[in-house]
Amino acid sequence: HKHLIDITEYSADDIMTVLETAVRFKEVNERRIKQVPTLKGVTVVNMFNEPSTRTRSSFEIAEKRLSANSLNFGGSSTSTVKGESLVDTVETLCAYKIDMIIVRDKHAGVPRKIADVSGAHVIDAGDGKHQHPTQALLDLYSIWEVKGDLAGLKVGVVGDIGHSRVCGSLIPALKIMGCEVTVIAPPTLLPARPDVLGADHVTTKLDEALPELDVVYMLRIQRERLEGAPYPSLREYNMLYGLTKEREPLMKPDALICHPGPINRGVELDSYMADHPKRSVILDQVYAGILTRMAEMYLLLGGSEDGLTA
């Protein structure tokens, strides 16, 4: 692959290659000196036109650990505020002979447009309500690390499905890997499309679905979309769809809790569940963000297993 923009362009084998390469980079990250010359001389532009904590910081750290040269660029500090177009901005950056652009943007489709007008490799770091494919890869890594084989796992995705770019790539990625996916949401937060991104089951009843699940993936409630909506209120949401301490007895003894972050504590997750020492892999997901992003950058640039961590 030249780009990572749409996870449905990746096969199960492609995804396994990323996960297995990430394991190799875990060895680097656990050394005393966590840096390898693997991408020495490669220039990566981190173009973040929307806020980010995890994705941005993990890409920057991943680039440093691979010895790439990074340029952090985007948002209100660029000449786009003077009216420069996206295409002119990208062509300007490409005149420097850069190698890769990591892009987050509030508009769906921007990473694909950048790929069309630049010669660089492009990684989608979240575009509008479309996809967030590196999030899907780190989620798969975190689940795979604990559960082993992904095929046949029953995964519930709970919450604001309709507005979530995380879902746009996570649900197809889980299906590619052979998981059985149940979407759980109030009817007002389901997308208009009836197939819900290829999920196997759709329900509005969390308490009925929970006992079956091996993994409970809680989505961030986009609070701005609930405030003032006819249903549910934040309080109703927490009562009906919040993963609370009271709901823990409904879960399988070894069911995992995932969340992409940032968390609204007390809305979709209470602190007891978010910080649960046995079930919550939320900080493991954050760590996996570095490993899988190192792997993806390396593989897109033509890397192979040989000489990986020299």
Only segment of 54-62, 154-162, 167-175, 179-187 that touches ligand CP (CB under 6 A) = 54-62
Nearer to ligand CP, 209 or 257 (CB): 257
Q: What is the dihedral of CA 102, 107, 111, 112, to 10 degrees?
A: 180
Q: Is 134 in the site for ligand CP (CB under 6 A)?
A: no
Determine if 55 is a binding residue for ligand CP (CB under 6 A). yes
123: CB partners within 8 A, 6+ apart: 3, 4, 5, 100, 101, 102, 103, 111, 133, 134, 296, 297, 300
- 49 in contact with ligand CP (CB under 6 A): no
135 binds ligand CP, rule: CB under 6 A: yes
Q: Shortest gap between Cβ of 288 and ligand CP (angstroms)?
A: 11
Q: Which stretch binds ligand CP (CB under 6 A): 28-36, 51-59, 109-117, 211-219?
A: 51-59
Q: Is 96 exposed, middle or buried (0-12, 13-18, 19+ CB in 10 A)?
A: exposed
Nearer to ligand CP, 53 or 203 (CB): 53
Was 193 annotated as part of a binding site? Answer: no
| From candidates 36, 38, 114, 126, binder to ligand CP by CB under 6 A | 126
CA distance 274 to 264: 10
Separation in Å, CA 265 to CA 157, 218, 243, 271, 299: 17, 12, 10, 6, 36
> Within positions 250 to 269, which residues make up the interface with ligand CP, using CB under 6 A?
260-262
How far is C-alpha 176 from the chain's CA centre?
16
State the residues that interact with ligand CP by CB under 6 A: 52-56, 126, 132, 135, 260-262
